[in-house]
Structure 1
Amino acid sequence: MSGVPASAGRGAPAPAARPARLWNIANILTMVRLLLVPAFVLLMLHNGGYDPVWRSFAWAAFAVAMITDLFDGHLARMYNLVTDFGKIADPIADKAIMGAALICLSALGDLQWWVTGVILFREIGITLMRFWVIRHGVIPASRGGKLKTLAQGVGVGMYILALTGPLATLRAWVMAVAVVLTVVTGLDYVRQAFVLRRAGRGAAR
Structure 2
Amino acid sequence: MNIPNKITLSRIFLIPIFIILLSVPFNWGVWDIGESSLPISHLAAAILFIVASTTDWVDGYYARKFNLVTNLGKFLDPLADKLLVATALILLVELGLAPAWVTIIIISREFAITGLRLVAAGEGVVLAAGSMGKLKTVTQMVAIAALLLHNFPFSYMGLPFATIMLYVALFFTILSGYDYFVKNWHVMRDSK
The TM-score by the shorter chain falls in which range? 0.7 to 0.9
Alignment partner, residue 46 of structure 1: 24
With over 3 angstroms needed to count, the CA separation of the structure-2 counterparts of 1:183 and 1:193, relative to structure 1, is same
Name the residue aligned to 1:90: 77
> Superposed, which structure 2 residues align to 1:1-205 within 5 Å?
22=1, 24-47=2-25, 51=30, 52-134=39-121, 135=123, 137-163=125-151, 164=155, 166=157, 169-196=160-187, 198=189
| Paired position in structure 1 for 2:33 | none
Give the direction of change, closer, same or farther, for the CA distance of 1:165–1:46 in structure 2 (3 Å limit). Answer: farther
Maintained 8 Å contact 2:53/2:141: yes
User: Gaps spanning 5+ residues in structure 1: where?
Assistant: 1-21
The alpha carbon displacement at 1:91 in A equals: 2.3
Q: Is the 8 A contact 1:44 1:104 kept in 2?
A: yes
Show CA shifts across 1:165-193 (max 9, x none). Answer: 64561211111111011101101111111
TM-score (norm 2): 0.81
| Aligned partner of residue 25 in structure 2, secondary structure | helix
Counterparts of 1:97 and 1:107, CA distance in 2: 16
Aligned length: 179
Q: Once the two structures are superposed, what CA deviation does each residue of 1:60-92 show, in whole Å capped at 9, x if it has no partner?
A: 110011110112133223323344543433222
SS of residue paired to 2:15: helix
Shift of the alpha carbon at 1:197?
5.2
Q: Equivalents in 2 of 1:29, 1:35: separation in Å? A: 10
Equivalent residue, structure 2, for 1:15: none
8 Å Cα contact 1:91-1:127 kept in structure 2: no
Query: Could you list the runs of 5+ residues in structure 2 that have no partner in the other structure?
Result: 31-38
TM-score, normalization: structure 1?
A: 0.76
Q: Give the root-mean-square deviation of aligned CA atoms.
A: 2.5
| Percent identical residues | 35
Kept in 1: contact 2:78–2:129 (CA 8 A): no
Equivalent residue letter for 2:19: V
Q: Supply the distance in 1 between the matched residues of 2:42 and 2:103 (Cα, whole angstroms).
A: 19
From the CA coordinates, give the structure whose radius of gyration is larger: 1
Which structure has the highest strand share of the two?
Answer: 2
* Greater relative contact order, per chain length (Cα 8 Å cut-off, separation 6+): 2
Given that 2:116 and 2:188 are in contact with CA atoms closer than 8 Å, whether structure 1 keeps it comes out as no
